[in-house]
Each structure stands twice: as C-alpha cells, then as structure tokens.
Amino acid sequence: MQNYRHFKISDFDYELPDERIAKYPVFRRDQSKLLVYNNSSIIDDAFEQLPAFIPSSSVLVFNNTKVIPARLHFTKPTGALIEIFCLEPHLPKPYDLSLQSTKTCQWICLVGNAKRWKSGVLTRNLEYQNQKIEFSAEKVGEWHDKPIIEFSWNHPQLTFSSLIEWIGELPIPPYLNRNTEPDDLDRYQTVYSKIQGSVAAPTAGLHFTPDILEHLRQSGIAKTELTLHVGAGTFKPVQTESIAEHDMHSEHFVVTRRLIEDLSKHKFCIPVGTTSVRTLESIYWLAVQILDNKLDAQSKLAVLQWEPYQTEGQLSREAALQIWLNFFESQHITEIAAETAIMIVPGYHFKMIDALITNFHQPHSTLLLLVSALVGDKWKTIYQHALTHNYRFLSYGDSSLLFPEGK
C-alpha cells in the first residue's frame, strides 16, 4: 500500500473563516451540534441525541488522558519574560514517575522568548505551606532540536505534578488567539479525564456529560478507556507539499489487558476522537510485530510513521486482539507502555474501528487526512455542509459521527 506517496496536502484545503472557529465552548457540553454521516447521507442533530445513532453491540473507546498545566513562566533579572512549555518527560521517562518526582526532573520543552535565554538558571521564589521554595529551570541538553530542561525545587514533599498544578498554566490551542481563562480549567478537560500527561485535550470527548454516558449505558452501549498523551504536534500542520515528506510526531500510550478484553466482547468499535483511533490502529500493528518478532515486555513497543503501509496486515481484528491476550498471559503483565508515530492518510485500511466521533479539523492537518482516510473525498461534502449549516469548528467546536461507506 503506497498510495500515500501520491497525495499532496494542497488537496486537503478548504476555506475556514476565523468567525467559524469556536473561541469558547457552548454553555452546556451536550448542546453542541452533531453531524451524522452514514451511507452518503447527512443528518443534523444535537450531541445529546448521540446514543440514538450508535449501533447496538458497540463499544465506545474514550481517551482518559488529562491535560496538565504545561506552561511555566519565569522572569529573568533583566525583566525578560521566559515561557517554558513542557512537552514530554525526559528523565524519568514514564509520565507517572516524572509527575511524581520530588526535587528534580527533566522535560523536553519549547521555550518562548528563547533569544533572551541562551544559558544560565532561571529561578522563581515561591512560598508553599509557610515554607520558602526556590524553583529553577536550566537547559541541560537537546532532543531532536528541542531543549531538555531540568527543573529543581527544594521541597522534598512537593511533587512536580503538584508544583505545576499550583503555578502552571493550562495550554489551550494556539488558534484560539486568547489567553487561558478560568472556565478553560474545567471545559478544556473531558469529564472522564484522569491520567495526567497531555498538553492538548482529546477534544472529541469534550461534548460528553455524565448524563450522556449514563444514557449510553442504559442503551446497552459499552464504554472502555485507553490512555494516549496528546502532544503539541497535534496542532502542527503539514507544511510539505507531499504528504510523504511530513515528519509525524510521536505520542505515548498505554495498552491494558482490560482494554483488549473489552474490545474482544463487542462487534462494533467506535473511538471517541482521532487520538483513540491512532491508539487502536497502533494496537493492531503492534500485534503484527508481536506475531512476527516475538516481542516481550522488555522490548520497546513502537509504531513508525509509515510502517502500516509497508507491512502486510493479514490479521483479522479478532486475531490481533487474541495475540494481545496471549501476550499479556505469557508475560504475566496487565499493561504495557508504547508509542506511535502512525500517520493515517487516504489509502489506509482501518483494522480496528467501524466509525468515528470527532470534531471538525483544520485545513492541511493530519487530523483532516485521517478523516479523509475514513470517508474518502466525501470529507469535502461533509465539511461544506458543516460550513453552510453554521457548525462551529476546531477544539471547542461541534461534533460529528462518521461512518465509512457501507457501514
């Protein structure tokens, strides 16, 4: 499958007026609009009616990652303001260990106003539980052209997680062109978020409320969760004319035995959001690796950007899930960390999913390419309908339920 080499990003463009970008969420999460695309027809409804459109015997897959206050601000003695945007842990590498670190940890970061901070230590003087704390940041290396920042603080009971929750700023999408406001602290998290690590929300899930989740349960629709920590690369547009030349960002996720068991019990799999799609499809390709290479729990589990297009995917979904169940059994584990740089573009054959709940995405984005892989050129009809029917776009915008042709 080599079709991706022939696509140009200019074919995935449309005019998105600024006024159609939702700068704020609707008052109630479930009052956003819902576009349902199925068998070449489009239905307009409200998101609170979602359960009526989900097939029986379905399992919805939610990404339970939680956005961290990843923006940290320092002031140099000269008065220069420096912003450090934490992207992912470097040492210790696991998210949970890094966030629970005391005294010191290292993160791969972006630095705002970097020209004013070439070297040296940045310091903030804080007070915590009547104790003075010195919180510092220092560049100690680079990782793929991004600085590695070592943070240190002199309070042995204060974790890095608690520290950034206290002084950090929640990073909202750059295209909102506004500062983070108090309401964002709640509305830019899903109601089921629990595992800290993302620097961007899995926004397809922002529409769900406890009432809708309960309605789904009463309708016999199953729910399961996975964790993929969303990176800042999700906002990076494809800047090369050829899709094949784009360097896809890598993201970390966790595969649990519970997830695999839940998927095995249901006929239809509907992910909530593109991050859930990328995780589920990566799980399939990791099953292929396990089968071919006899990986074990100590192996680095990773899916490369174009691996699915260069590898035979003959396994059925059921066979792939059974491989995972056997893997967990043989390795005596219940979960394992992995990472993926999978890039889903037109020509990709989905292995794990039967439909998709997602928002409306930016032109030239890898997310729009994923949507096109699912519905083909019909994405143009869907997006034109959304534009002419006053749908709101991007992270705080409206939602869609998309079925591939024939589903």
At residue 6 the predicted structure's pLDDT band, cuts being 50, 70 and 90, is: confident
Q: What is the pLDDT of residue 135?
A: 97
Cα–Cα dist 172/174, whole Å: 6
What are the tens digits of pLDDT across the range 179-188?
999 999 999 9
What are the tens digits of pLDDT across the range 242-277?
988 999 989 999 999 999 999 999 999 999 999 999
Does the pLDDT at position 407 exceed 70? no
At residue 297 the predicted structure's pLDDT band, cuts being 50, 70 and 90, is: confident
Average pLDDT over residues 169-183: 95
High-pLDDT (> 90) share of the chain, %: 85
Does the pLDDT at position 356 exceed 80? yes
Strand partners, 75: 81
What are the tens digits of pLDDT across the range 192-228?
999 999 999 999 999 999 999 999 999 999 999 999 9
Mean pLDDT of the chain: 94
Cα–Cα dist 25/214, whole Å: 22
Cα–Cα dist 166/74, whole Å: 14
Higher-pLDDT residue of 111, 296: 111
Residues of the chain with CATH 3.40.1780.10: 3-66+185-402
What are the tens digits of pLDDT across the range 102-131?
999 999 999 999 999 988 999 999 988 788
Q: Assign a CATH topology to domain 3-66+185-402.
A: QueA-like (3.40.1780)
Half-sphere exposure of 99 (CA within 13 A, CB side): 19
Which whole-number Å values give the CA distances from 8 to 198, 342, 350, 379, in the listed order?
30, 18, 21, 16
What are the tens digits of pLDDT across the range 58-75?
999 999 999 999 999 999
What are the tens digits of pLDDT across the range 12-28?
999 999 999 999 999 99
What are the tens digits of pLDDT across the range 24-53?
999 999 999 999 999 999 999 999 999 999
Q: DSSP character for 55?
A: P
Vertex 102, ends 98 and 105: CA angle to 5°?
A: 45
Count Cβ atoms within 10 A of the Cβ of residue 243 and give its class: 0-12 exposed, 13-18 middle, 19 or more buried: buried
Cα 314 from chain centroid (whole Å): 27
3-state secondary structure of 222: strand
Q: What is the pLDDT of residue 131?
A: 85
Contact 355, 407 (CB under 8 A): yes
Average pLDDT over residues 291-311: 87
Cα 168 from chain centroid (whole Å): 20
Higher-pLDDT residue of 191, 245: 191
At residue 7 the predicted structure's pLDDT band, cuts being 50, 70 and 90, is: confident
Q: What is the pLDDT of residue 4?
A: 65
Does the pLDDT at position 2 exceed 60? no
Backbone φ and ψ for 236, nearest 5 degrees, come out as -80, 115
Query: What tokens does 153 get?
Result: 């603080």
Q: What is the pLDDT of residue 295?
A: 77
Question: Global pTM?
Answer: 0.95
High-pLDDT (> 70) share of the chain, %: 98
Does the pLDDT at position 284 exceed 60? yes
